[in-house]
Amino acid sequence: MGQFKFNAADIKGVYVVEPTVFGDERGYFMETYSAEEFKEAGLDYNFVQDNQSSSRKGVLRGLHFQKEHPQAKLVRVISGEVFDVAVDLRANSDTYGKWVGVLLSAENKKQLMIPRGFAHGFLVVSDTAEFVYKCDDVYHPEDEGGIMYDSAGIEWPEIDTELVLSEKDLKHPKLSELDFKFNL
């Protein structure tokens, strides 16, 4: 029996992944990744790096991508809740510039599978959140790119605090000014 439900998003290649959770009075158990099951679903990735971040409410990280070393990412939240977003930057895609957003939380245990060719970011909507993700290439800081968080028509959830962005993220170009597209 499969341990995952793979729900195709509105943009080709992006999936909301729901693990099977086994719970009882002691707590719960779940698989968070299975190379075999992901491959059977057409998601054949060789993940080489795991990352984790902790942020407080209102922190918006992104929208990031790597130009010459694009990364596919499998992302999830292990504490708290975030609104996670992927923006299609693939040059030959019918959905170029479109976005997918999903609430990921420790409670719903959903994951978002983002293929190469997307900008990625998230907004913390709970008091704090711990965010973890697998990448199929290592991080190359000299290769980083990004787009401004408010330039792709993303409908970010309203929260009762000011947004907190890094200086770097405040300097990204708008999507309409971006001089880069992925040729994948």
Residues 128-151 have pLDDT tens digits of 999 999 999 999 999 999 999 999
Active-site residues, by number, are 64, 133
Q: State how far the Cα of 144 lies from the Cα of 135, in Å rounded to an integer.
A: 14
pLDDT band at residue 2 using 50, 70 and 90 as cut-offs: confident
Q: State how far the Cα of 110 lies from the Cα of 16, in Å rounded to an integer.
A: 7
pLDDT at 1: 55
What's the whole-model pTM score?
Answer: 0.95
Q: Does the pLDDT at position 95 exceed 90?
A: yes
Mean model confidence pLDDT for the chain: 96
Q: Between the CA of residue 129 and those of 16, 87, 156, 158, what are the distances in Å?
A: 19, 22, 17, 17
pLDDT at 8: 97
Region 116-125: mean pLDDT is 98
Region 172-184: mean pLDDT is 94
pLDDT at 70: 97
Region 117-132: mean pLDDT is 98
**What are the structural domains, with CATH classification, of the chain?**
47-177 (2.60.120.10)
Q: Between the CA of residue 108 and those of 16, 80, 105, 149, 152, what are the distances in Å?
A: 11, 10, 5, 25, 26
